[in-house]
Structure 1
């Protein structure tokens, strides 16, 4: 059985977030709800953030689990939360797009490189922040799937 890495159901638009912890938990909860990871993966995502920020610049954060969280991943998957109002990830770093990832085996490296390609273009970030439908976001990540 092939599980799609990213679907419209993995995307939430116009989410209001008050803290980075809430943002990470919501991003992880999508991965849990869609069957990509065990529930305890969210704790590993929060632990990863304690080790080093997943803020990537350009209003993007890519929360993911720690190295020892690999056993908690059932299938590779991506969750995307659009937060146009932004959430502070510390140090004045405002995040408007959260991309949660869970990679089975070493697939997370491929997923990350594909995300990095999309997010390296400022106009793509603007499109992600302004998107009105899940399909608009899916079309930007068509190469990732």
Structure 2
């Protein structure tokens, strides 16, 4: 995966459990801080979650903005937050890994499919949950070519 889209600055490990809303805003804030989105995009991430959960299974959630908020994406980016104790996404769904995405143009579909391929393997999700270093995360999400 392209280093401009995903690098060590985009990873936070060992976070203390917080509410779903706060976790989504944390992911959005990291996207904003690292120059991928304008602050308006965070509202789109929150609204997306209100209309349809971004929990995708296997302990993973992929928060992202509604389509009308794509205009606030400055460049494609991906952030990953690791919550060892998990975040309650409702209906018994606990996410240990949040992957916030902002895809410019059609890149969000590419990013989603890359993440989906990695996260459909339970072994990969377990490794993401337990990773002790950012380098490990980069290797898992890059399919070993970090």
Smaller-chain TM-score range? over 0.9
Name 1:29's counterpart in structure 2.
Answer: 29
The normalised TM-score by structure 1 is: 0.96
The normalised TM-score by structure 2 is: 0.95
**CA distance change for structure 1 residues 83 and 8 in 2, over 3 Å: closer, same or farther?**
same
**CA distance change for structure 1 residues 3 and 69 in 2, over 3 Å: closer, same or farther?**
farther
Name 1:60's counterpart in structure 2.
Answer: 60
Deviations 1:37-71 (A, max 9, x none): 00111110000001100000110000000010110
Name 1:119's counterpart in structure 2.
Answer: 119
Q: CA contact under 8 A between 1:78 and 1:102: conserved in structure 2?
A: yes
Name 1:104's counterpart in structure 2.
Answer: 104
- The answer to whether 1:83 aligns with 2:69 is no
Superposed CA RMSD in Å reads: 1.5
Name 1:15's counterpart in structure 2.
Answer: 15
After TM superposition, give the deviation of residue 141 of structure 1 in Å.
1.4
Give the Cα separation in 2 of the matches to 1:87 and 1:107.
27
Q: CA contact under 8 A between 1:10 and 1:79: conserved in structure 2?
A: yes
Gaps of 5+ in 2: none
Name 2:135's counterpart in structure 1.
Answer: 135
Deviations 1:60-94 (A, max 9, x none): 00000001011000000000000010010011110
Structure 1 residue ranges (4+ consecutive) displaced by more than 6 angstroms after TM superposition: none
Determine helix, strand or coil for the equivalent of 1:75: coil
Determine helix, strand or coil for the equivalent of 1:81: strand
